[in-house]
Structure 1
Amino acid sequence: MAHLLGGENLSIAFATRTVLDSVTVGLEDGDRIGIVGRNGDGKSTLMRLLAGRQTADSGRVTVRAGVHIGYLDQSDVLDGESTVGFAIVGEAADHEWASNRKIREIMGALVGEVDWHANIHSLSGGQKRRVALAKLLIGGDDVIMLDEPTNHLDVEGVAWLAKHLQQRWRANEGAFVVVTHDRWFLDEVCNRTWEVHDGIIDPFDGGYAAYVLARAERDRMNSVIESKRVQLVKKELAWLRRGAPARTAKPKFRIEAANDLIADVPEPRDTVALSRMATARQGKDVLDLENVSLSYGDKEIFKDITLRLAPGERLGLVGVNGAGKTTLLRLLNGEVEPSSGRLKRGKTVQTAVLTQEVRELDDVLDLRVLEVIEREKRSFEVGGKDMSAGALVEQLGFTKDKQWTPVRDLSGGERRRLQLLRLLVGEPNVLMLDEPTNDLDTDTLAAVEDVLDGWPGTLVVVSHDRYLLERVTDHQMAMLGDGKLRGLPGGVDQYLQLREEALSAASKPATAGSGAASGPSEGEKRDARKKLNRVERQLGKVAAAEAKVHSQMSSKVGEYDALDELNAKLAALAGEKAGLELEWLEASEVLE
């Protein structure tokens, strides 16, 4: 294999903290490398150094002559005044790029629903991200570097990107480096893993599952089996080996010692014990949606659905954008009234919802992390054992020093962790998580999963992260945009198959004499794209208005008349948001 690029004795520090200390790495033809590590340990910094976008304090980066490097940044680097089409293909005529099958596939998968003539500044953050990814992938770079490419991609988008990278080059051609918290994606596309920690880089053969195995073996050899970090690794390793043995078929190293290491590790969750504890806390009745329909105008978002949640049940929800996943959580939480049918709620049920926003922390910005948790409760029960607030905070990655950091100084990922902790110490018995993996690194995700393993309550998770869904939930259901709920005995793979079949059926022309319509015209599709852009801009305005109301509420504590008025505003905004989501769904159906 030919050498493509490398970094030799790279060191870089920020203020008084050394991020990388004399590290040496190389990239060869055929390398498919995933970079893992805690947030702030230098993953993106390493990638920027290798791409020539940042200069090291010492050391050097060498690139073989003629090698072209493509780079997907986390930040918005597109010209806001440019159109979508120009941002992706420049001045190339339509016939030039449209005749290329690879480019057509990339366009269809990533920007098929985006108005080709819209200015970049009018797009949502997710749309801008997809445009930037499409621009990168249509190029002919020898090496591509992807910093969090799965952000803003749904389950289907992540699966498509994985397949594209698998097929982009021949086995011993090209190379890519990816930083992502999506562990399924890492396992699917990578043949090597670099772990960045404590200023150094530890290389491992294989994807995420192989990396977990190798890390367990390394830690055994280093005699640190009893450390807190290793306990998390052992538990996750046990799940990987028992729950998905096919994932570990490719390691090139000896794994017998790792298997010995986990021989006495119990299942991640004692389902029977947790169910018994949940029943004791909740009673037999939890939350039931009975023959529920929900309409806005003449559009039904749910059509006569029934969902019964049992004590200790762990349900994962996956579905297309606009299908109503978040709305379903709001129905279960009693925030939205159904048009027909009813929500039956157990007498002792106490719900908590982790939303996609972190504005719930706005009222505690001046408090320190530990103060926020201790204000809620000083002890917490995990897996039948009492744990102090400090111990729980430390388990989710807040070191003793970090526990005394003001909330306003926390990073996005740290705020996300604190948001979840704050919900957990309130001891709800029904927990609903809406896209909980945002801004969390792989180690933190493992820690969150470990806490959830011992949590004796009913859990509902909405996520595009299939690894998390399969890891913390016992069964999954699909929402395909037709107002129904479908069970998925085959998990996320079955969902992707259902979506593929639906898209294939929608693309077939109607048979003669069937009386079916032949599908939308190009003009109708253009109108639908414009409608999508308009609705997404309006949704952004509604989100900003909701944030403003939440901010006002935090300053009106105890002023009940004012709070009633603000609650009414929130309800109106929620209705407007739901209506816009339905408009979005109608327009997206035209483009499917």
Structure 2
Amino acid sequence: MNNLSVENLAKNYDERQLFENLTFGLEQGQKAALVGVNGCGKSTLLKIIAGIEPPDRGEVSFRKGVRVAMVPQSPEFDDNDNIVQAVFAEDIEELNVIRDYEIAIHKATVDPENAPDLTDVLERMDQLNAWDYESQVKQLLGELGLHDLEQKMGELSGGQRKRVALARALVVKPDFLILDEPTNHLDLDVIEWLESYLATANLTLLMVTHDRYFLDRVTNEIMEIDQGELFRYKGNYQNFLEKKAEREAQDAATVDKAKNLLRKELEWMRRQPKARGTKAKYRVDAFYETKEKASKGTQRAEMEVNLKGERQGKKILVMEHVSKRFDKIKILENFEHTFQRKERVGIVGPNGVGKSTFLNLLIGNILPDSGNMELGQTTKFGYYTQEEQIFNPNSRVIDVIKEVAEVIKMADGSVITASQLLNQFLFPPKMQFNMVGKLSGGERRRLQLLRVLMNNPNFLILDEPTNDLDLMTLNVLEDYLDNFEGCLMIVSHDRYFMDKLTDHLFIFEGEGQVRDFPGNYTDFREQGGKLAKKEEAPKKSTDKSPAPAEPVKTEKKKLSYNEQREYDKLEGEIAKLEKERDTKTALMNQKTDFEELQKLAEELEAIRDSIEEKEMRWLELSDKAGV
């Protein structure tokens, strides 16, 4: 029985037909992703299903008793609420008492002398058997990195607000979960936890995401909106790519056949008398049907990126003994690197550790506290920022591009107009005269990317470039970047994008320390690499004396013979378990039988527990050895 039924759904936006006659259903345990080009109506469809927007036509219905939760792309909160109030916003009796309990415990901890009477709230917790639920909520908040529950929502960053939105949706234990770009603005460790959680959770999932690893490891079905139609593909992202290629090849053959038929039909139509009534009606109807099929394949366009980067000299950028701090936070300490031509660097680290500050330091927006930075005479930066560029919503799309240049030089030396360039970036002539305020979020990001690339940079810095971009745009962008002749630096939580384009990583470990790792992000994780957690910073020494130039060395404690043997084996055991975990997760994506899925979920949970136990032991032994 379907948890969700969608029948004959249609929606127009600003005189543009997004989709028409969409009909589909999702059963309990199905985990589906919705994909398609920017502006095709993915987020609008999610809002209609969630009841936030009305359709023009059609019906959406959930099975009786199904509890639905949604995490929108840009969650909204009352800035005056604290995290507790935001997370426990749903009026559910068990959640209400857990919220009251957390507030009371916090007050008792902060001000023990004026601690509230807990008798009533403890009795209510007992009556509702809410203790297990409270423990699960606590674990959930911990995994999402939400510790200071009294912090006001107005003080939180975009990533923190996204984590609160996820917590708000997950604490209600939904039967049906709707997610719109759930990985945007999240730390990599939170993304990996969420990926594992959703892969094993017994719920129905419908999401929009550009994260291809996330798609591959969580979903068992992908639905594509293409030219207003819905196409369904069983399996994960890899299967989707194979089946989509087969469908498009079949469509191309159908279009070719229809074109041949159309020529014959045209000849027949022209030979007949002018009055329509004298023609055989079935032939007239067949003509228009064939004409529609023949023109179908000509409507699909693909983005082109053929922009030229400026020639790069031998010296690009040299950084010597560079240090930078803000107040008491060290961003860099004694950092050194000489950038080479065609170097591809990925930057990873928890939110708040200084990655964006480092980028601004590179391009000269801020100056180092000490050290030298020598920029090559021919080096020309292009900086795509994480924050969406603010365009005047009343400006026309073409005017936004003409602000940079009327004509643009291409990679082959030719010159094209701003209008032609916009057409290559999937802004056809009709859309070029639209107001920017009418564009979707992904379309605005594509416009921002175009403005950066048309300046012909030879040192390209991309800060979260994949947010809000559709999969087709990402594939074309990756192909362009793969052949880019200049330097490339990427900050991204999209592991697929990073793995595909980077040769080495700058690992921001906190306290100004940056490690240069030879390999991509998956290499880093497979070798047991872990990212520092931002919340661990306060645990460091509070000594007010000046920081020493070199890290303080602690005397190594010698491990016993048995401990050393255990330590040597642990990395291999952890790696083996992680492979087993990935195999089980992939297997789950192929199964549809509920009992098999349940069994696999239990096995996967046991493997995750074992990994966590061994990682904790590895850390304990490495600390003891002073490694």
Scaled by the length of structure 1, what TM-score is found? 0.68
Structure 2 vs 1, CA of residues 6 and 401 (structure 1 numbering), >3 Å: closer, same or farther?
same
1:33 CA drift (Å): 0.5
Residue 388 in structure 1 maps to residue 422 in structure 2 = no
Q: Choose which of 434, 439, 445 in structure 1 pairs with 2:463.
A: 434
Q: Distance in 2 between matches of 1:360 and 1:42?
A: 22
Contact 2:342 2:488 in 1 (8 A): yes
2:387 is paired with a residue of what secondary structure?
Answer: coil
User: Which position in structure 2 is the counterpart of 1:481?
Assistant: 510
User: Which position in structure 2 is the counterpart of 1:104?
Assistant: 138
1:443 CA drift (Å): 2.3
User: Which position in structure 1 is the counterpart of 2:229?
Assistant: 200
Contact 1:5 1:28 in 2 (8 A): yes
Contact 2:502 2:519 in 1 (8 A): no
Q: Choose which of 392, 405, 411 in structure 1 pairs with 2:434.
A: 405
Matches within 5 A, 1:257-336: 281-296=311-326, 299-336=329-366
Q: Choose which of 181, 196, 199 in structure 2 pairs with 1:166.
A: 199
1:385 CA drift (Å): 6.3
Q: Distance in 1 between matches of 2:132 and 2:455?
A: 58
Contact 2:322 2:332 in 1 (8 A): yes
Q: Choose which of 86, 97, 101 in structure 2 pairs with 1:91.
A: 97
1:108 CA drift (Å): 0.7
Amino acid at match of 2:184: N
Q: Distance in 1 between matches of 2:207 and 2:514?
A: 34
Q: How many residues align?
A: 458
Amino acid at match of 1:344: E
Structure 2 unmatched ranges of 5 or more: 89-95, 103-121, 257-304, 542-553, 557-627
Contact 1:34 1:186 in 2 (8 A): yes
1:418 CA drift (Å): 2.3
User: Which position in structure 2 is the counterpart of 1:582?
Assistant: none
User: Which position in structure 1 is the counterpart of 2:276?
Assistant: none
Q: Distance in 2 between matches of 1:39 and 1:481?
A: 36
Structure 2 vs 1, CA of residues 142 and 454 (structure 1 numbering), >3 Å: closer, same or farther?
same
Q: Distance in 1 between matches of 2:404 and 2:44?
A: 37
1:37 CA drift (Å): 1.2
Q: Distance in 1 between matches of 2:11 and 2:536?
A: 54
Contact 1:488 1:494 in 2 (8 A): no
Residue 133 in structure 1 maps to residue 181 in structure 2 = no
Q: Distance in 2 between matches of 1:306 and 1:286?
A: 14
Amino acid at match of 1:449: E
2:97 is paired with a residue of what secondary structure?
Answer: coil
Q: Distance in 2 between matches of 1:319 and 1:75?
A: 23
Structure 2 vs 1, CA of residues 11 and 323 (structure 1 numbering), >3 Å: closer, same or farther?
same
Contact 1:44 1:179 in 2 (8 A): yes
Matches within 5 A, 1:43-62: 43-62=42-61
2:186 is paired with a residue of what secondary structure?
Answer: coil
Amino acid at match of 2:44: T
Q: Distance in 2 between matches of 1:105 and 1:476?
A: 31
Amino acid at match of 1:340: S
Structure 2 vs 1, CA of residues 419 and 401 (structure 1 numbering), >3 Å: closer, same or farther?
same
Amino acid at match of 2:22: V
Q: Distance in 1 between matches of 2:3 and 2:173?
A: 15
Amino acid at match of 1:46: L
User: Which position in structure 2 is the counterpart of 1:573?
Assistant: none
User: Which position in structure 1 is the counterpart of 2:212?
Assistant: 183
Contact 2:388 2:448 in 1 (8 A): yes
User: Which position in structure 2 is the counterpart of 1:256?
Assistant: none
User: Which position in structure 2 is the counterpart of 1:499?
Assistant: 530
1:365 CA drift (Å): 6.6
1:367 CA drift (Å): 5.5
User: Which position in structure 2 is the counterpart of 1:65?
Assistant: 64
Matches within 5 A, 1:400-479: 400-407=429-436, 409-479=438-508
User: Which position in structure 1 is the counterpart of 2:180?
Assistant: 147
Amino acid at match of 1:491: N
Contact 2:502 2:520 in 1 (8 A): no
1:61-105 per-residue CA deviation (whole Å, 9 max, x = no partner) reads 333333222222335454555432233243322475674443222
Structure 2 vs 1, CA of residues 426 and 195 (structure 1 numbering), >3 Å: closer, same or farther?
same
1:282 is paired with a residue of what secondary structure?
Answer: coil
1:128 CA drift (Å): 3.1
Q: Distance in 1 between matches of 2:344 and 2:488?
A: 5
Structure 2 vs 1, CA of residues 324 and 78 (structure 1 numbering), >3 Å: closer, same or farther?
closer
Structure 2 vs 1, CA of residues 483 and 473 (structure 1 numbering), >3 Å: closer, same or farther?
same
1:178 CA drift (Å): 0.7
Query: After the TM superposition, which of the residue ranges 187-196 and 497-506 deviates more from structure 2?
Result: 497-506
Q: CA RMSD in A?
A: 3.7
Q: Distance in 1 between matches of 2:150 and 2:408?
A: 56
Contact 1:476 1:487 in 2 (8 A): yes
Q: Which has the larger radius of gyration?
A: 2
User: Which position in structure 1 is the counterpart of 2:73?
Assistant: 74
2:318 is paired with a residue of what secondary structure?
Answer: strand
1:180 CA drift (Å): 1.8
Contact 2:181 2:468 in 1 (8 A): no
2:315 is paired with a residue of what secondary structure?
Answer: coil
User: Which position in structure 2 is the counterpart of 1:378?
Assistant: 407
Q: Distance in 2 between matches of 1:76 and 1:152?
A: 12
Q: Distance in 1 between matches of 2:389 and 2:45?
A: 31
User: Which position in structure 2 is the counterpart of 1:16?
Assistant: 15
1:202 CA drift (Å): 0.6
1:225 CA drift (Å): 12
User: Which position in structure 2 is the counterpart of 1:544?
Assistant: none
User: Which position in structure 1 is the counterpart of 2:577?
Assistant: none
Q: Distance in 1 between matches of 2:509 and 2:33?
A: 31
1:480 is paired with a residue of what secondary structure?
Answer: strand
2:12 is paired with a residue of what secondary structure?
Answer: strand
Structure 2 vs 1, CA of residues 499 and 215 (structure 1 numbering), >3 Å: closer, same or farther?
same
Contact 1:34 1:194 in 2 (8 A): yes
Structure 2 vs 1, CA of residues 493 and 217 (structure 1 numbering), >3 Å: closer, same or farther?
same
2:311 is paired with a residue of what secondary structure?
Answer: helix
Amino acid at match of 1:286: I
